[in-house]
Amino acid sequence: MPVPPDQPGPPTALITGASSGIGRASALALGERGARVLLVARGRQALEEAAREVRAAGAAEALVCPADVLDEAGLRGAVGTAVERFGRLDLVVHSAAVMAYGRIEDVPRETFQRVVDTSLHGTANLARVVLPVFREQRAGHLVVVNSLLGNVAAPLMGSYVAAKWGQLGLVRTLQQEVRDEPGISISLVQPGGVDTPIYFQAATSMGSTGRPPPPVYSPQRVARAVLSTVDRPRRVVQAGLFNPLITAGFRLVPGVYDLLVGPLLTLMAVANDDVPPTEGNVFESRPAGNATEGRWRSI
């Protein structure tokens, strides 16, 4: 990650969702670059564990600040801490999200709403506190982790699809709104299936847990895509081999897509288990489930 020539010292970053999956892998990758990193998520315990790993990877500094992205004041505190401690904020990676499985008619309203809120209002809250800092610095890069499901629809994942379509619209709008400040860039990364704990942390009302559809990427591979946008900002970056093909199928032959998506999803993205309805980590952190990797083989 380049540091502006008039600002000596290691790069500085804040990461949401830093205690698990793609956010944690991104924090580790930044640690390897010797960055100063502030890690944000709701649960302190997994954040502390992640921070220890980030320090061990070579970070100049790794701090934790527990905050919920739905709490704008908490986010303001985290961003303020980063600026106060590091002197500036070069990069913000936004990876916090929650997921729920089940038909829209079966997912409890509060669960549906929280999944959408976390991605949509969480991103808007973060933008409201980060962009004024970037404008003041006249520089800064925001990377939002979206999903292939920001481009296409999939049954049994309605709240998450709505959340990710909304987040895509929001981020594309933010990209247009910061065009007046050339020093600020905003990139969006759309992963396909990734081996992270999100699948067994998710709420479910469908009688089973979900799993990542193949080809399953490692969180480290997606973290490389995230950091590639820092070196070369782009509006939208794919991190999934078949993403362009699936998106083209959804747009160009919707009849065929709709015919295939249900059976294929049941075959490749639903676990063969039997679980009672659960809220998962939708309303509260479940630190024991947070880790960099999930339990699937990845490429």
Ligand X SMILES: NC(=O)c1ccc[n+]([C@@H]2O[C@H](COP(=O)([O-])OP(=O)(O)OC[C@H]3O[C@@H](n4cnc5c(N)ncnc54)[C@H](OP(=O)(O)O)[C@@H]3O)[C@@H](O)[C@H]2O)c1
Q: What is the DSSP string of 101-112?
A: EB-TTTS-HHHH
Name the minimum Å distance from CB 182 to ligand X: 27
- If the CB atoms of residues 10 and 40 are measured against ligand X, the closer one turns out to be 40
- The correct pick among 28, 120, 129, 145 for binding ligand X (CB under 6 A) is 145
- The correct pick among 140, 197, 210, 280 for binding ligand X (CB under 6 A) is 197
- The correct pick among 98, 131, 157, 162 for binding ligand X (CB under 6 A) is 98
* 101, 160, 217, 257: the active-site residue: 160
- If the CB atoms of residues 10 and 13 are measured against ligand X, the closer one turns out to be 13
Percentages (nearest 5) of helix, strand, coil residues in the chain: 45, 15, 40
- If the CB atoms of residues 10 and 18 are measured against ligand X, the closer one turns out to be 18
Please tell me whether residue 125 binds ligand X under the rule CB under 6 A. no
- The correct pick among 11, 17, 210, 280 for binding ligand X (CB under 6 A) is 17
Burial of 33 (0-12, 13-18, 19+ CB in 10 A): middle
Quote the distance between the C-alpha of residue 269 and its chain's center: 19
Please tell me whether residue 280 binds ligand X under the rule CB under 6 A. no
167, 148 in Cβ contact below 8 A?
Answer: no
Pairing of strands 91-94, 140-145: parallel
- Among the listed residues 253, 190, 227, the one whose alpha carbon sits nearest the alpha carbon of residue 29: 227
- Among the listed residues 93, 191, 88, the one whose alpha carbon sits nearest the alpha carbon of residue 143: 93
Let me know if 101 is a catalytic residue.
no
Name the minimum Å distance from CB 119 to ligand X: 7
What is the rounded distance in angstroms from the CA atom of residue 173 to the CA atom of residue 127? Answer: 11
Please tell me whether residue 140 binds ligand X under the rule CB under 6 A. no
Name the minimum Å distance from CB 32 to ligand X: 18
- If the CB atoms of residues 133 and 149 are measured against ligand X, the closer one turns out to be 149
Q: What part of residues 150-179 is at the interface with ligand X (CB under 6 A)?
A: none
* Longest pairwise C-alpha distance within the chain: 58
- If the CB atoms of residues 247 and 281 are measured against ligand X, the closer one turns out to be 281
Name the minimum Å distance from CB 278 to ligand X: 14
Please tell me whether residue 198 binds ligand X under the rule CB under 6 A. yes
Q: What part of residues 20-49 is at the interface with ligand X (CB under 6 A)?
A: 20-23, 41-43, 46
Tokens 């049941």 sit on residue? 266
Q: What part of residues 203-222 is at the interface with ligand X (CB under 6 A)?
A: 212
Sheet holding 140-145, edge to edge: 61-64, 36-40, 12-16, 91-94, 140-145, 184-191, 236-239
Amino acid type, 45: Q
- CA torsion 30-34-40-41 (nearest 10°) is 50
Name the minimum Å distance from CB 88 to ligand X: 23
User: Site residues (CB under 6 A) for ligand X?
Assistant: 16-23, 41-43, 46, 68-70, 95-98, 118, 122, 145, 147, 191, 193-194, 196-198, 201, 212, 281, 285, 287, 290
For the annotated catalytic residues, the residue numbers are 160
